[in-house]
Amino acid sequence: DRTEPPPATPAPLSAGATSRRPRYALLTGTPDLATFPRGQWLAAARRALSEAPNDAFGYGDPRGRAELRTALADYLARARGVYTDPDRIVVCSGFHHGLALIAQVLKKRQIAAVAVEAYGLDLYRDLLTNAGLDTPPLAVDEDGARTDDLGRLPQVGAVLLTPAHQYPTGVALSPQRRAAAADWARATGGLLLEDDYDGEFRYDRQPVGALQGLDPERAVYFGSASKALAPGVRLGWIVPPPDMIPDIVAAKGYGDYMTSTLEQLTLAEFITSGMYDRHVRSMRQRYRPRREQLVDALHQRAPGIRVAGMAAGLQTVLDLPPGTENTVVQQAARLGLAVSSLAQFAHRTPEAVSPQPPRDGLVVNYAAPSDSAWTGTLEALCDAMPASS
């Protein structure tokens, strides 16, 4: 189980590259784990446990504890513009679990295909494929996924999007592309599957609101605690149209029927006490200078490298000269730095209605290194850049 995906695996090394354990890493998938608010989380757990009713220790509602669903409904409406109430939320064990449940529901409803972004995690494409769903890709450009191509994919009954901060390229889905997605869903009865994996982290302006707010009856919203807190907090949430909830609950019954009650109560207390908001603000303040230091260092050491997708989230893309991606990844490995190539996230198939243009790049998670490792990590990254830049 985003379950959160494990950090992306570096590209295979050539015979001349070292296989020793990397000293530094900029792999995607996690925030800075050293910053998990242990003291505040423990305090929230103590309060939640002391106030928990006796029935909290029994078999509970598979939708999740009412305390957490109530706290999430308020938070999501306030912070992300999600249209919901406690009865429209189903708690799960992270995005992977939530998507697996929805895949079962889609298959039961005889949906044949789910369109996906041409850049994304193969983990989720494989999950959909293993559920018996085709995954035709939508090209991604500076305005996000080409949702205007959905009408050219007649077998598609749903589309999986990362509209606030496309994973991994970092672009936001433009208002025109958002409208096109909502129009397609209304016209065809299709579903918008929205993975809002790091929507709280916006640096250049107020966060981009959830796509779900455009048409709550045609959207399934997914969120989790994995980026704001840590992947080890195995909690996520689904906000589907109400008519899907019985099928989702039935799908939960085949596997993880209940998510840990004590974790749910702790997160509910963490949110309602204001600690969640304070932690997110603190992490934004922590990550912002990392972004600036990354840009400044590359401007000085590798001025030809374009840094893209920096407005939000925890990762960015470094555009590389054509044909240099593998060489840079291997050079980084020689310097003890593990980093992901953009090609690792590409999904290219013959049925693509708008083929994705080739692009060389690195996906850099500037949030993950600890403070003590950050300077050395940044130095190794700059040293790995092409000499011609």
- Residue spans of the domains in the chain: they are 24-36+277-384, 39-276
Residue partners of 7: CB distance under 8 A and separation at least 6? 25, 27, 28, 29, 30, 365, 368
C-alpha radius of gyration, the chain, whole number:
21
Q: What is the pLDDT of residues 277-312, one digit of tens each?
A: 999 999 988 888 998 999 999 999 998 899 988 777
Pairing assessment for the beta strands 361-365 and 340-341 based on DSSP bridges: antiparallel
Distance between CA atoms of 370 and 361, rounded to whole angstroms? Answer: 24
User: Which residue do the tokens 């603000």 mark?
Assistant: 281
User: Which residue do the tokens 């907090």 mark?
Assistant: 233
Peptide bond into 168 cis (omega under 30): yes
Nearest to 344 by CA among 196, 125, 142, 150: 125
Residue 8: per-residue pLDDT: 44
Residue 104: per-residue pLDDT: 96
Bridge partner list, 224:
236
Distance between CA atoms of 225 and 266, rounded to whole angstroms? Answer: 12
Residue 208: per-residue pLDDT: 78
Q: What are phi and psi of 188, to 5 degrees?
A: -110, -10
Residue 11: per-residue pLDDT: 41
For residue 173, CA distances in Å to 127, 351, 352 come to 24, 23, 19
Distance between CA atoms of 204 and 7, rounded to whole angstroms? Answer: 26
Please give the CATH topology (third level) of the domain spanning 24-36+277-384. Answer: Aspartate Aminotransferase, domain 1 (3.90.1150)
Q: Is residue 29 within 8 Å of residue 121, measured between CB atoms?
A: no
Distance between CA atoms of 65 and 235, rounded to whole angstroms? Answer: 12
Residue 255: per-residue pLDDT: 65
Residue partners of 376: CB distance under 8 A and separation at least 6? 23, 24
- Answer whether 24-36+277-384 and 39-276 agree in fold: no
Residue 381: per-residue pLDDT: 95
pTM check: above 0.75: yes
Please give the CATH topology (third level) of the domain spanning 39-276. Answer: Aspartate Aminotransferase; domain 2 (3.40.640)
Task: List b or e across 276-311, with b for residues whose CB sees 16 or more CB atoms inside 10 angstroms.
Answer: bbebbeebeeebeebbeebeeebeeebeebebbbbb
Residue 13: per-residue pLDDT: 40
Residue 223: per-residue pLDDT: 95
Identity of the residue numbered 257: Y
Counting as low any pLDDT under 70, the low residues of the chain are 1-20, 205-207, 254-256, 350-351, 388-389
